[in-house]
Amino acid sequence: MRTPSHPVSELARAVNRSLERHGVRSPGTTVLARLFQTVYLTTLKTEEGAPLQMRVALIDPRNPDPDAPRNPRPDHWMITRLERPLPLTVSNLAKLSRAADPWNSSLAVHYDARGQFFVWGLVDQTIHFNAILVREADSGYAPPGTIQVAATGPATLTVYREMGFIARLAQDKLLKRQNDVFYSGPILGQLGPGIEKYIRKVQRRLGSNRTKLVSDYRNWLQRKWVDTLCRLLIGIQRCRHGGALLIARRTKDLHVKYSINYERLPKALTDLAVATIQSDLLSDRICSNYLEPSKDSLPVALYLDESVTDGDRGDCEKEVTGCVRFISSLSGVDGLILVAPDLIVQGFGGEVLTKHDPDPVYLSEDTRARERDLSPVDPTHFGMRHRSMMRYCFAHPGSVGFVVSQDGEVRALTRLRDRLIMWENLKILSFWGLVPRRPRKLKRR
């Protein structure tokens, strides 16, 4: 009888296969497993009752930046070497992780000829990469190293290379892909009316002669709307007390303890889109008409207009961030946050009144919820936060529920015909595709 392998060994095999498939030199399964095992065991320790979090980068100290840009921008990362490298042990990693907050920095590690790991430096400027991950920035440098290992909770490791997701070990479950439900499948279909309403608002603000212009920006507008919803979920996740967000057209079967009408977020999103498009138009006009050698002057009014609209865009970005943080904090009260399809917040502390459990609930392994990708699960295996959201979404077709567990897991639920479908392992962080070489500077827009 074959002995089941440890989840860490399975993670090492998955990462090794992924690196080889993308033409990246891998240290091998055995060496990777040794690294993951040390990080895994360290996450089981606590500091003042809280689990340790850390970010570890596998970087060769002999050539830490093989694709270094010729003229790096000021926000490019730098590695500060330790005077003496330290063995990568659970004890040393636990101590150093307290000095390397994973939001701001990461630990540079490598291995010797015997496959023994050591810590040799600290990487700064990690905050800018994290801002891209949580969808608060559109450009920045990819993090260094062959791979990065982020530990966000007990026995929870996420492995990525540059901006690409490779695999995630969540307790004893290995996940090799994420469900991007926001760009295909039933969840996107339910969110569609809210996205279209947002695009129409932008078009009205720009004027009737801007129909083609809005069409050119449609993908960017949809992404900006989705980014904002994901940022709300990330904000609830980062509070670490769990929460729920319900997108629904009506309040039937709900008791909302604190009713409000917070319209600022959709307005700020519209203002941001208008300012961005206007700023782009003015910049394109300057580049097209006034950057030729024969042009020796630029109209002052045009320059001022471009400067003002670019400043407006930056101000609107800050306003959206403030709105997202404000709404996310509402999850601190027990109960769900109720949001209309156009992202107007209608209340918080919501309680679902319907008592009928859908049985079974179907878990989908694919964004499109095809029949072959569905498996039934018993709703009673979940807590009350999940079960109440299951009840509401099943009773009210068209609604979409998101539940954030205390451990950070985010699940999405909606009704598809006569079934309640649930998705796990959602792609809410902005991981991009896996690339074999590091770009000089990454930009999404």
For residue range 270-300, what is the model confidence (pLDDT) as tens digits? 999 999 999 998 998 888 888 776 677 788 8
CA-derived radius of gyration, the chain: 24
The per-residue pLDDT for 299 is 85
Specify the DSSP element, H or E, that contains 282.
Answer: helix 264-290
Looking at residue 359, its pLDDT comes to: 84
Other beta carbons less than 10 A from residue 341's beta carbon: 20
CA-CA distances (angstroms) from residue 247 to 392, 405, 418? Answer: 11, 18, 19
Name the average pLDDT for the chain. 91
118 three-class SS: strand
Do the strands 419-423 and 361-364 form a parallel or antiparallel pair, or are they unpaired?
parallel
Residue 360: asked if its preceding bond is cis (omega within 30°), the reply is: yes
CATH of domain 186-265+316-423: 3.40.1700.10
Condensed to tens digits (0 to 9), the pLDDT of residues 310-365 reads: 999 999 999 999 999 999 999 999 999 999 999 999 999 999 999 999 988 999 99
Contact criterion met (CB below 8 Å) for 221 and 214: yes
Residues near 301 by beta carbon (within 8 Å), at least 6 away in sequence = none
In whole angstroms, give the CA distance from residue 374 to residue 418.
14
Query: How far is 199 from 248, CA to CA, in rounded Å?
Result: 19
CA dist 264 → 72, 108, 200, 270, 368 (Å): 38, 42, 17, 10, 32
pLDDT for 290:
81
The sign of the torsion formed by the CA atoms of 438, 441, 444, 445 equals negative
Beta bridge partners of 412: 402, 423
Query: Residue 2, SS3?
Result: coil
Give residue 438's pLDDT band: very low, low, confident or very high (50, 70, 90). Answer: very low
> pLDDT-derived band of residue 67, with 50, 70 and 90 as boundaries?
confident
Cα end-to-end distance, the chain, whole Å: 53
pTM: 0.90
Tell me the domain boundaries of the chain. 7-178, 186-265+316-423
Tell me the per-residue pLDDT of 172-224, one tens digit each, with 9 for 90 and over: 889 888 899 999 999 999 999 999 999 999 999 988 667 777 888 999 999 99
Residues 6+ away with beta carbon under 8 Å from 57: 106, 107, 108, 109, 123, 143, 144, 145, 147, 148, 149
Q: What pLDDT, in 10s, does the model give residues 152-170?
A: 889 999 999 988 999 999 8
Predicted local distance difference test score (pLDDT) of residue 250: 83
What's the average model confidence in pLDDT over 126-148? 91
- Angle at which helices 264-290 and 300-329 cross, to 10°: 150
DSSP summary character for residue 179: B
What are residue 275's phi and psi, to 5 degrees? Answer: -65, -40
Kindly report the backbone phi and psi dihedral angles of residue 89, in degrees, each rounded to the nearest multiple of 5, phi listed first.
-115, 165
Using the 8-state DSSP alphabet, how is residue 142 labeled?
P
Q: Tokens representing 22? A: 């993308």
pLDDT above 80: residue 440: no
How many other CB atoms are there within 10 angstroms of residue 337's CB atom?
A: 26
